A and B are shown apart, each in its own frame.
Chain A
Amino acid sequence: MALRAARDAAIWGGVALAVFVPLIGLQAVQDIRGELRLDTRWPLLVVLVAMVVGGSLVNSLLIAPWRERRGRRVPHENAALARAAAAFGRWFPPFAVGFVIVFPFLALWLTGMQGSVKWIDNFGIQILIYVMLGFGLNIVVGLAGLLDLGYVAFYAVGAYAYALLAKEFGFSFFTLLPLAGILAAFWGIILGFPVLRLRGDYLAIVTLAFGEIIRLVLINWVPVTNGYAGISGIPRPTFFGIPFNASDEGFAAVFGLEFSPIYRGIFLYYIILALALLTAFVTVRLRRLPIGRAWEALREDEIACRSLGIDTTTTKLTAFAIGAMFGGFAGSFFAARQGFISPESFTFMESATIVAIVVLGGMGSQIGVAVAAVAMIGGTELLRELDVLKEVFGREFDPTQYRMLLFGFAMVLIMIWKPRGLISSRAPSVFLKERKAVAGSLVKEGHG
């Protein structure tokens, strides 16, 4: 076995060397006179090839035998483990909700006024926006099984709806929030109509195109959207009419506090938290209603749905509309938080990230989606903090530039380890409680 492992490692090392010599070992640089010069980066090449060889050795000596042993093991009921898992399933959601509610104050307490801005704004709000988007897309992809690669379009519709209406007419954030949601839902229906007959790959392609169309319209419709330059000076949400600024009517002055941008951060944090919880709550309720069950049935088998009397047209359109509505909410929040939006915020990469969150989380699972959003968005934010890597790869190494690489690597690992997402089990939406006894008595007279 050791021999085979060494041989595999040698092959992988050879392949890596062949690929990395031109890509990493050699580098064309312009010198002072503007001439191209060939530079070499042998140490970096050695590090990377060594990493590949090491990875191969670890895989064939440790991981492969472990997987084989696990595959052969006869599964046995582990009562304690099952109890622990059940307890975790019961207590984790309320605990997690409790944690995110106290999180801003925890951050304030631990890191102080200055330090907590990063945690509340960069981490808290950013992650919650994606949790909310994940929940919204989860309705379309996870429940109804319609793979939508253009979800960012509704996010953009919500953002521009808020930005334009707030700037033009001066409506407040909370008036425009439902309006932006309705507008996005309307666009969800517009997208829904042409794709009613499509499924799977074909649906994915058309929705992807839809996302690009919206983005290109935003870029080119300059009189309205201001094109690439975007819209700036978008009014911020106020606390019941009290703005968050340093003026005498500002939040801090009214409440007798010293001015700090952190108050606005905390306020925004609770708005997006409320929106995300609302989305989760609505999704949970919808799953128990006929329409929610029809979505799930649609995901399982469309032909059977039709033969059971389900109108698949309205079922799909409601899924698109409701999913889009939550995307629109998130979009208008995004615009209100940033104060500036441009088409660059609504690229395909955003759609891909949201889809990745839903797929990694496990299609249809709320907790899974939330955990995946924390891992994906929080993970990329954390990369900015990792100065350790600079010690390994040299001064000019910027970990954030590698985040897509790490991102992809992490996704491959999760898909190997949990091919159906972090939480792949599906909780039934209906239970029989008192009828257990009836079922038992029926069994005795049984002839089936």
Chain B
Amino acid sequence: MAEPLLAVRGVKTYYGSIMALKGVDLAVHEGEIVTLIGANGAGKSTLMMTICGNPRAREGRIVFDGRDITALPTHEIARLRIAQSPEGRRIFGRMTVLENLQMGMVAAGRDADPAELDRVLAFFPRLAERIGQRGGTLSGGEQQMLAIARALMSRPRLLLLDEPSLGLAPLIAQAIFDIVRELNRSRGLTVFLVEQNAFHALKLAHRAYVMVNGTITMTGSGRELLERPEVKAAYLEGGRREAATTGH
């Protein structure tokens, strides 16, 4: 198998003296959608943030495209075209949608392509409608779309999505997952997705990891994990019921 685009090897991350990640191994290959599921406090977001260098891994290595990025500052990691749609969206509330999107181009540096705006807006027509509106006045779903669109503006090689369905109605969450699938299919975008909404995330993913208490306990293709009884018991019953009501 080819060298993975992103490789996380034996990463341990601490908050003070508390070990949050207890040696995580994980790989994302070019063109894949990889999902990490797990309960609250399992360390999913910590892993996502460790990849971005804040907090830093105290042990282990993170390798992106053959380059060790473990010790790089966050903004330099972003300039390697690892774009992040962070947990809680973190859009710029007082700036307009357009200004938010333009901030996303910073990471592309000199390669920034103004035409990217039209291509990104084609995926998010709702944002095109609201282009001059302040980010803070958007609805939750629109803000999530803006966070993803902003991350896409640098034409990332890897998109990190942290809980994009958080706090959204099932239909809106579904629409966002559809957009991610479409981005992967049409542009070959590599996606690493962290989700609590296990059912949708596993359906979307090519491969998936399950994290419990800071360690990876299971891995396999999305479909395989969907069928595993222990995954069903721990993460899916709620997801199933919710999916039944939205018609999936």
Interface positions of A (Cβ within 8 A of B): 290, 293-294, 296-297, 299-301, 303-312, 426, 428-432, 435, 438-439, 442-443, 445-448
Contacts and interface: CB of A to CB of B under 8 A. Distances in A.
B122 to A, nearest CB: 6
Given A429-B99, A432-B98, A304 B75 contact: no
Interface in B69-107: 73-76, 78-79, 83-84, 86, 90-96, 98-99, 102-104, 106-107
B128 to A, nearest CB: 4
Interface of B is mostly: helix
Given A439-B121, A439-B129, A442-B121, A308 B78 contact: yes
Given A290-B106, A443-B125, A306 B99 contact: no
Contacts of A445: 125
Interface string B35-54: 00000000000000000101
A448 B107 contact: no
A257 B106 CA distance: 58
Interface string B159-200: 000000000000000010011000000000000000000000
Given A309-B78, A442-B122, A443-B125, A304 B90 contact: yes
Given A307-B84, A309-B75, A445-B125, A430 B106 contact: no
B90 A428 contact: no
A304 B91 contact: yes
Given A294-B106, A306-B54, A439-B128, A301 B75 contact: no
Nearest to B124: A448
Contact of A432 (B78, B106, B131): B131
Contacts of A296: 92, 94-95, 99
B150 interface: yes
Contacts of B132: 428, 431-432
A431 B99 CA distance: 9
Contacts of A306: 52, 54, 74-75, 78
A13 B98 CA distance: 55
A428 B75 CA distance: 25
Interface of B: 52, 54, 73-76, 78-79, 83-84, 86, 90-96, 98-99, 102-104, 106-107, 109, 118, 121-129, 131-132, 134, 145, 150-151, 154, 175, 178-179
Contact of A307 (B74, B125, B126, B134): B74
B106 A443 contact: no
Contact of A293 (B78, B99, B178): B99
B183 to A, nearest CB: 13
Contacts of A304: 86, 90-92
Contacts, number: 114
Contact of B75 (A310, A442, A443): A310
Contacts of A442: 121-122, 125, 128
Task: Tell me which of B93, B103, B118 has the highest count of chain A C-beta atoms within 10 A of its own C-beta.
Answer: B103
Contacts of B125: 442-443, 445-448
26 contacts: A293-B102, A296-B92, A297-B103, A304-B90, A304-B91, A307-B84, A308-B150, A309-B75, A309-B79, A309-B109, A310-B75, A311-B73, A426-B95, A426-B134, A428-B96, A428-B99, A429-B99, A435-B118, A438-B128, A439-B129, A442-B122, A443-B125, A446-B126, A447-B178, A448-B123, A448-B126
Given A308-B78, A309-B79, A300 B102 contact: no
A310 B92 contact: no
A225 B93 CA distance: 46
A296 B73 CA distance: 21
Nearest to B101: A430
Nearest to B100: A297
Contacts of B93: 300
Contacts of B154: 308-309
B99 A307 contact: no
B107 A309 contact: yes
Listed from nearest, the 6 A-B pairs whose CB atoms lie closest are A309-B107, A446-B125, A309-B78, A304-B90, A300-B92, A448-B126
A44 to B, nearest CB: 48
A429 B100 CA distance: 11
A300 to B, nearest CB: 4
B79 to A, nearest CB: 5
B52 A307 contact: yes
Nearest to A290: B106
Given A293-B102, A296-B99, A435-B118, 9 more contacts: A294-B106, A296-B94, A297-B95, A300-B94, A304-B91, A307-B86, A309-B79, A309-B107, A428-B98
Contacts of B121: 438-439, 442
A448 B179 contact: yes
A442 B125 CA distance: 6
B135 to A, nearest CB: 8
A303 to B, nearest CB: 6
Nearest to A429: B99
Contacts of B52: 306-307
Contacts of B83: 308
Contacts of A447: 125, 175, 178
**Of listed A299, A306, A429, A435, residue having the most chain B CB within 10 A:** A306
B41 to A, nearest CB: 20
A141 B97 CA distance: 23
B56 to A, nearest CB: 13
Contacts of B73: 311
Nearest to A436: B131
B160 to A, nearest CB: 9
B209 to A, nearest CB: 22
A303 B107 contact: no
Contact of B128 (A305, A426, A429, A443): A443
Given A290-B106, A310-B75, A443-B129, A300 B95 contact: yes
B95, B134, B145, B175 — most chain A CB neighbours (10 Å)? B95
